[in-house]
Chain A
Amino acid sequence: MARTTAKRIANIKNFAIFGLIPLMIFALVLVTPFIRGIFYTFTDWNGFEYEEFVGFANYEASLADETFWKAIWMTFGYVGASLVLVNLVGFGLALLVTIPMRGANILRTAFFVPNLIGGVILGLIWQFLFDQALPTISENFNLPIFQENWLLKPDTAFWSLVIVTVWQMSGYMMIIYVTGLMSIEKDVLEAALIDGSTGWRTLTQIKIPLMASAFTISLFLTLRNTFMAYDVNLALTGGGPYRSTELISLHVFKEAFGFGFFGTGQAQAVLMFLIIAVAAITQVIISKRTEVQR
């Protein structure tokens, strides 16, 4: 008996040393604000204090807000386009840099570097590119495509956001896909080769199914990051022109801090959380089904 008690105490001690501090931080900076945030949505909170409970009024007002819906559809469009392009480019790059060739490692690093630049700086760099560099190049070489500053028209500003996102995130996804490709056993590939499988067939029927978990991770990360995108949005377009490229995060920020509507802003943040949670869970469930057990 004494021995098991001692063991239990040792266990608790170990947990306290390794687990308690992270758990406390998690509770303090994530769980507490989250619960308080939900609580505030049912009050007439003005950013400083609340006086009374208002039921679902903040949610009703949010759902009746046209600009909120506009931000949601804009976000869905942005997530959809980015999801496809980031992963296509990321996977393409992964295939490219796993070809045995000189300089593959340098290429890997080069493709990954954009991911190390913070979103705000990235936004400013691309603002300059769209505003000055690309129009100048286009004019000199008589290319019609970038002659106008892309950030000044709603459609092109949207695609600017997507382009910068792809540029930033595909390098990261590439690393995950590279890991996936490298984890496929050589014997499987050799067997396929002996059976006469061509490159395309090997890719679609052997490699991709065997590395499906890399797709699950990449799709999840892309989905989550693009749904929550804020810094690139703020620095690149600032939601402009005329509030046409405001994604949900930026919209929530403006609703609360710019307009002082803290109740509805918080309610919209909660709605945003629900949307992202549902989308992410759905995606993971679907992706998991396609993974094969070895």
Chain B
Amino acid sequence: MRRVAITGLGAICALGAEVQSFWHALLSGVSGIRPIQAVDMAGFRFRSGAEVANYDAAQYWDGGRADQLDRFAQFAVIAAREALRDSGINMTPQLAARTAVVMGSSVGGQSSQDAGFQEVYLRGRPRVHPLTIPRAMANAGSSHISMEFGITGPALTTSTACSSANHAIGLAFWMVRSGVAEIALAGGSEAPFSYGLLRAWEAMRVVSPDVCRPFSRDRAGLVLGEGGAILVLEPAERAAARGARIYGEIAGFGMSADAHHITQPSSAGPAAAMLQALADGGLKPAAVGHINAHGTGTVANDAIESRAIREVFGAESDAPLVNSTKSMHGHALGAAGALEAVAAVLALHTGIIPPTINFRQADPECSINLVANQAQAAAIAACLSNSFAFGGLNAVLAFRRHTS
């Protein structure tokens, strides 16, 4: 089996419109969580979100072409442009036929659908915009990436709620490792800020009224975010031969289903997914120095995830250093795993682990080695990035440092 290198990164989210500003904000402990602008939040039980600030699609598309894309698909293409440019890959037609695009999205172009349905239900009009379907379909991000670069190999979208991007990256990793694809662009994108969807999240009673405090005893829920992120994957041998910069390797991928409850998590499924990611990558638990946690900041997730981490790695003081970058970029649902993969890969590459901000009080239910409030230097050989979804679908990526 081939080793799989990560040679390009792209990201856009509340912390920045490209990887450099995203990473700098993460290390500085900057929060991208602010009062929501897209929707009038008067009368809501929460007001905060992590939106991409001052975003103007016209900066990325000429002549109104952006109108064909829902905001979530725009984020997908913007991240793909940066990642492919970063990789230095010359996408010839021959290579494009052997390149895969695998993207995650939980809710797709729901704001386009919401806008269309407002026309018929609220304003009583008999028709909606003709591009509502192509904008709203969850695969639009993958489709627009393939068209943008002329990529004609396998292209698909995974939709497993908050695990969507990890499932996408994991499947793309397996495709490159096995030789099904030579190159893969993999990640996720999401843009969940519409009135209808925010009301639905409010009804779930899992959204924090203000900030996100993962693993803190006084945590009060998640904060929604948006954005997109992409990793360029290729065989390590190929990357080395063309002299590419290698950020690290994907070592393994593990997935599992809780088969337990549609919203209540359990620790067995997440622990199984972590163990499978380790086994798939031939890693021993002791090799893992860092975990970018799912860490949503909900009462249930953080306690269950902490238990799962202890089940896999033990409770010793040398257990992996855990962070939740959602404390800064919010919970970007189908893009979450992709943003967090970029954060985990850069932590591995640079030896600095971004903090979990807003941490105030230790919780006996969350007994883990948390990187709290300040970034921490740590030379790590391997790390995990966890994603666990409503519906009990778990996906864990294992990364390791590249050695020639």
Q: Do A and B bind each other?
A: no
Interface residues of B (CB under 8 A from A): none
Interface residues of A (CB under 8 A from B): none
